[in-house]
Amino acid sequence: MLSNFEGIKHNEPMNLHTTFRTGGVADLFYEPHDNDSLKAVLAEAKNENVPVTVIGNGSNLLVLDGGIRGLVIKLGKKFSASETDGEFVVAQSGALMSQVAMLAYNAGLGGFEFAQGIPGSVGGGLYMNAGAYGGEMKDVIQSAEYLKDGMIYTINAGDMKLSYRKSIFMENGGVITSVRLKLYRDNKEEILAKINDFKCRRVSKQPLEFASAGSTFKRPEGYFAGALIEQAGLKGKNVGAAEVSQKHAGFIINRGGATAKEILELIEIVKETVYKDAGVMLETEVKIIGEE
């Protein structure tokens, strides 16, 4: 029985697992530690017809206040082994982007500096084709393994359909279990200088002192979401404790205790207002999941 599966938790508050700090409870919650435990829990869920939601570090999620029915599988700390292999880095999908960036730095491998400040896992990063400061997962991924219908498959970068915040995993429903990144030998001082430069830029521009899920909206072609939102006069606009950041209008922040309902309402206000003001319909980058 899934509900008696070793290590499974019941009624787990999702605000503990999302950087937005919102969300009701997940009926069932499990953190696998290897491919076998992941396979076993997925097989049991399938047997019992229990819906499954996979998350990484929860840094691109708005979980609604009614929580998530069925099973949430978190690929996190317990699923985060990573190592270098020559110019490659191999990591389990729960490894944090920052952890892998520092592993690469320590090994004198360049190319992954952009990822240091992205607070997600490498699995979530690949799923989203996360990127920053001119780099993205697409540039460094060589191959990945994913689990589907009880089988582990290897997929090469060229088959992943990676484009701006898109990947094939959004279509095929596979659970990414590991990634293999191809980096290059570089001078450690230069790697560190890039990491520090990106860090300074983030700290000066982004509201990192508040809970958020990063950029709330995707970049519309030919525009910047933050600039459109600012032009529409929405900086500082709030619904309860949800607020359009004063520091960076592209971020909706949780000033403390915001409900997902408040954040959703603010998202809708921003979309409507920007559409009226500039004729551009914003699309959320943040994935909205769960029940109202």
Ligand X SMILES: Cc1cc2nc3c(=O)[nH]c(=O)nc-3n(C[C@H](O)[C@H](O)[C@H](O)COP(=O)(O)OP(=O)(O)OC[C@H]3O[C@@H](n4cnc5c(N)ncnc54)[C@H](O)[C@@H]3O)c2cc1C
Using an 8 Å Cβ cutoff, are 270 and 208 in contact? no
Closest distance to ligand X from the beta carbon of 266 (Å): 16
Question: Contacting ligand X (CB under 6 A), which of 22, 80, 116, 121?
Answer: 121
Name residues contacting ligand X, limited to 208-227 (CB under 6 A): 208, 212-214
Determine if 175 is a binding residue for ligand X (CB under 6 A): yes
| 62 interacts with ligand X by CB under 6 A | no
Give the separation between CA 135 and CA 181, rounded to whole angstroms. 13
Other C-beta atoms closer than 10 Å to the C-beta of 49 total: 7
32 binds ligand X (CB under 6 A): no
Strand, helix or coil for residue 269: helix
Out of 124, 135, 250, 290, which residue is the one contacting ligand X (CB under 6 A)?
A: 124
165 is catalytic: yes
Asked if 146 and 177 count as a contact pair (C-beta separation under 8 A), the reply is: yes
Active site residue 262: no
Query: What's the Cα-to-Cα distance from 109 to each of 56, 180, 184, 257, rounded to whole Å?
Result: 24, 14, 5, 41
Contact between 120 and ligand X by CB under 6 A: the answer reads: yes
118 binds ligand X (CB under 6 A): yes
Choosing from 22, 57, 80, 178, the residue that interacts with ligand X (CB under 6 A) is 57
How big is the chain by its Cα radius of gyration, in Å? 19
Q: Does residue number 249 form part of the binding site for ligand X (CB under 6 A)?
A: no
- State the alpha helices, DSSP H only, in the chain: 35-47, 97-106, 122-128, 137-140, 169-172, 188-205, 225-231, 260-278
Residues serving a catalytic function are 165, 215, 285
Name the residues that contact ligand X, by CB under 6 A. Answer: 19, 54-61, 75, 93, 118-121, 123-125, 127-128, 130-132, 169, 175-176, 206, 208, 212-214, 287
